[in-house]
């Protein structure tokens, strides 16, 4: 259980850290304006477009990864244990 927790936590924090950096670059017009969640810049260059894709991918990676290790994997284990007990 503890291993699953730290895996999910590492994915969550690491993914959100990379998301934070790119969101700080491209989605923060100024300090006093919307921070991190402002709309994407119009007509980004090639590198900026790649960075925006990575940013979104990292956000979903963090959320889905944490959900997987904290909810799905333990649920699957419990379900497998349960069915192993009921079968025997």
Partner 1 sequence: MSDNQDPQTDGSGPGIVAPDDETPTWRERKERRTGLSRLTYEYFERSRREDQDLRQESTYVERDVLGFPAWPHETVRNLAISSFFVGMLVFLAAMLPPHLGDVANPAQTPSVIIPDWYLYWSFGLLKLGPLNPELSILGGEKLMSDEFYGVLANVAVVGVIAIVPFLNKGSARRPVEQPFWTAVGVAGVTFAFTMSVVAVQNLVPFSHGITFDLSFLLPLVAGTIAYSVLKAMREGYMYDLNRRYYRLRPPK
Min CB(31)–partner 1 separation in Å: 4
Cβ(65)–Cβ(12) under 8 Å? yes
- Which residues would be at the binding site for partner 1 (CB under 8 A)? 20-21, 24-25, 28, 31
Q: Which is nearer to partner 1, 18 or 67 (CB)?
A: 18
Which two structure tokens, joined as six digits, stand for 9?
């936590």
Q: Which is nearer to partner 1, 5 or 25 (CB)?
A: 25
Q: Which is nearer to partner 1, 36 or 64 (CB)?
A: 36
User: What is the spatial distance between Cα 42 and Cα 18, in angstroms, rounded to a whole number?
Assistant: 21
User: What is the spatial distance between Cα 47 and Cα 76, in angstroms, rounded to a whole number?
Assistant: 40
């Amino acid at each position: 259980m503890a291993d699953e927790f730290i895996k999910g936590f590492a994915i969550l924090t690491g993914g959100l850290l990379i998301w934070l950096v790119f969101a700080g670059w491209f989605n923060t017009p100024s300090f006093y304006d919307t921070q991190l969640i402002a709309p994407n810049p119009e007509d980004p260059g090639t590198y900026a477009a790649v960075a925006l894709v990575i940013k979104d991918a990292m956000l979903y990676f963090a959320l889905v990864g944490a959900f997987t290790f904290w909810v799905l994997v333990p649920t699957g284990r419990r379900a497998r244990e349960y069915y192993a007990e009921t079968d025997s």
